[in-house]
Structure 1
């Protein structure tokens, strides 16, 4: 497994729409293993393939709490169905928008159809943090960042600071 560099805003690759994969094979499992290793090292709880520069419809996440054993989840070609009409707020952050956290409202529950690590079709009823996280990562597959759910002013302020930080680091 390899820890890969995480793409950060305002990198234009984060705005790409990810493409579906044909199926799960050893090459895709190696990508998911790298993604999981990268996410753990960051540290984070979810990562979309585009966040390491790979525009494929693949997500990994692990919502295990501190002191709990790892509980990795793999989502290949995920599709959200039946998002709830009631919204739930959550203080979100993102490995591609480092050091920024904002309250975002998303549907409180949803159903997700996907292929797992072995390529087996699955359906998941998600609620709470799981529902928030899967929707956040699904946004990445569509070229959307969590800051896109903020006001234009807040979003522009964050992006301006990220550009300034990137220039200072170069």
Structure 2
């Protein structure tokens, strides 16, 4: 991406992988090739995320099982955070555990109260291989934990138990997009 360009402006919108697709439940591979294909993937992730009106998107959500995610997400003070992380590692979660509404572009139209820490730190690299550390609080911390889960082969439904999990699965089974 050129400095000053709008993320996703040169990207192509790709189909989303939906709940039930095995790619969402497998751990993603480390990125080893930092060439133009990776830059194109990040552009496509932004374009797809913006078209779907999301705040984050991981590569496996568009059918690519690599450890990459993008975000354009506010924190609780309405500060906007925009970026991407390649080969992310969730190195810290702390603070208060908050249950809040959480949705996912791979479960369109659904959400459930999901517990997340209100502070998270993710380390990784950029598309050029430069080290990056991202600190998130509040809603942005939720977003970072959610996207990290995706590269680990988890969706937010995997954090739910009891009636919350049963209700979400019933809603998913009735959804028009469910296979």
TM-score (normalised: structure 1): 0.86
Q: Distance in 1 between matches of 2:69 and 2:31?
A: 12
Give 3-state SS (helix, strand or coil) of 2:103's partner: strand
Extract unaligned runs of 5+ from structure 1.
none
Give 3-state SS (helix, strand or coil) of 2:71's partner: strand
Task: Note the 1:7-18 alignment, pairs <5 A.
Answer: 7-18=17-28
Q: Greater helix share, 1 or 2?
A: 1
Superposed CA offset, 1:119-145 (max 9, x none) = 210122221122110100111111111
Q: CA deviation at 1:92?
A: 0.7
Does 2:100 align with 1:100? no
Give 3-state SS (helix, strand or coil) of 1:107's partner: strand
Please point out which of 87, 96, 101 is paired with 1:91. Answer: 101
Q: Once superposed, what is the RMSD of the aligned Cα atoms? A: 2.3
Structure 1 runs of 4+ with >6 Å offset? none
Q: Distance in 2 between matches of 1:92 and 1:9?
A: 15
- Match of 1:80? 90
Alpha-carbon distance change, 18 to 6 in structure 1, aligned in 2, over 3 angstroms? same
Q: CA deviation at 1:71?
A: 5.6
Please point out which of 99, 112, 127 is paired with 2:137. Answer: 127
Extract unaligned runs of 5+ from structure 2.
1-10
- Match of 2:5? none
Q: How many residues end up aligned between the 2 structures?
A: 166
2:85 and 2:132 in contact (8 A); partners too:
no
After alignment, is 48-57 or 15-24 more displaced? 15-24
Give 3-state SS (helix, strand or coil) of 1:98's partner: coil
After alignment, is 45-54 or 82-91 more displaced? 82-91
Q: Distance in 2 between matches of 1:118 and 1:130?
A: 24
TM-score (normalised: structure 2): 0.82
1:58 and 1:78 in contact (8 A); partners too:
yes
